[in-house]
Every structure is written in structure tokens, then in C-alpha cells.
Amino acid sequence: SEVKDEAHLQKLDIFIPLADINSYLKLTEAAGQICVSQWTGPCRLGCLFHHGDHIVAVNDLQPQDVEEAYFFISRSARKEVKLTVCRIPHSDIFHVKGCSC
């Protein structure tokens, strides 16, 4: 389900350890957006992402495409990466193995 009006999207910051992003997060491009296509993170981090989440910033930098998002992540000097996400309210969650949602 596409949301045309950006005002209906929730904007939130998600902080993830750099090593966990590289191991568990997959991004893809759809309709000109950088979308979360998979989150298989460890149970300790929980179910951070929802279907339809799209990345609008990586450490406050705004990537233009998936390659640039991965570049910003790989160049992060911090141990934790800040991803700014736009989320469709009440969208399905990417559940991690063993979660208690």
C-alpha cells in the first residue's frame, strides 16, 4: 500500500551498531525510495524495522540511492549508525527470530 501524502508517515531515528547493520540489514530501491527489504537482526536489538520503511538519512546525510546509503554506512566513524526512517503507520513488522512481539 502506497502512501502518497508524506504527512501520514512517521519519521523516527533508529540507532544500530555498525557491525549489526552490515550483518543483518538489506536495502533495496523501490519507487525512487531507499527501502528496507530485510532485517534479520539479533534478538537483543529486537524488531526495529517495518515493511515499507524507507531510509531518508544515514547519520544525518541524505543518500540519493541504495549505493550511496551503503557508502555512508561504510564510512561511519561512529560505532553506532543513526538511520532516519519514514514509516507507514501500522505497517507489518520484520520480526526477528525468537522475538516476543
Q: What's the pLDDT at 5?
A: 55
Between residues 75 and 101, the one the model is more confident about:
75
How many distinct helices (H) and strands (E) make up the chain?
2, 5
Give the distance from CA 76 to its chain's centroid.
15
Q: Please give the model's pTM, rounded to 2 decimal places.
A: 0.88
State in words which class domain 10-87 has: mainly beta
Are the CB atoms for 75 and 67 separated by under 8 Å?
Answer: no
**pLDDT tens digits along 42-86:** 999 999 999 999 999 999 999 999 999 999 999 999 899 999 999
